[in-house]
Amino acid sequence: MKIISSKIINTLGYVDIIQNEDIEINGVSTIGNIKKDTIIFFKKYSEELVEIVNNVENCFIILKQEYKSKIKFGKNTYVFAENPRYEYARVVNVVLKNEEKNKINIQLINGSYISESSNIHESVFIEPTCYIGKNVKIGQNTIVMAGAKIKDNVTIGENCIIRENCVIGGFGFGFEKDKFGINYRIPHIGGVIIEDNVEIGAITTICSGTINPTIIKNYVKIDDHVHIAHNCVIGENCTITACAEISGSCIVGKNTWVAPNTSVINGITIGENVTIGMGAVINKSVDNNEVMVGSPAEPLTDAKKFRKLKIKMMSEV
């Protein structure tokens, strides 16, 4: 990802800008982990965020109008906008289109399409009809089975099994509305990190993170037909069984068992050593060591109490 900030400004026609430095952009970053030479946006205004903006250097910064009279302008490009998240999406799409003009070659090797920029250990076994995108790294003794699609910026560790027709690193489902209320897709370029000794089941999808990667930690076992959305972190040694769905930006603690057909709402944390029963709908965060059942899910101890009370009330009718 390399593009000069002035090219973005000219392409999108920005006028409410202050450009003290023409930045060569090499990526994106977040408020919590700001890196030089990146695109960053501040969705909300606060005095605390003003201090963060004042310490940013060599970045393409997209901000709300309120910042204009409050910040000290450093060696950055500043774009002021009513909806910084929407403008961030537009900017990144310009960068991606610029990258498409300089696509890295894809090679056909043993029946699979593999990017020249990938870094694959010689011991890796790849069955035919796979796709391996750019900047993909795959560690030793990993097996990639027929039809698997591993998109850009994915890292897979050692001794992993990637089963048939799964998709790892595709865009997540994220949109921002423009001023007319029309949905505009937010690019997801954070990639995916899969650590060592992980199994990913057939026809499973693991979406790219928006800015930072989606992470699957060591010894995780994921069954067939599972969906893990963008920005999730799945802790060590978790088991996620068939047809489970984990929505975006969830954190799942280590040693957790997720039963078939579980649904997890976005943005929550599930603790360590949790057991989630079949068909449970998790709509709020869960403490360590809980057993969750039902829809909406509740601790098993509470469900048992309610069941006993229900039986008692029915017997008295």
- Active-site residue numbers? 230
Torsion of CA 169, 214, 30, 64, to 10 degrees: 70
Core vs surface per residue 163-172: b (16+ CB within 10 A) or e: bbbbbbbbeb
Q: Is 89 exposed, middle or buried (0-12, 13-18, 19+ CB in 10 A)?
A: buried
Nearest Cα to 186, choosing from 167, 166, 211?
Answer: 211
Task: Give me 263's structure tokens.
Answer: 């649904």
Taking CA atoms, 23 is separated from 8, 38, 42, in Å, by 10, 8, 18
CB atoms within 10 A of CB 264: 26
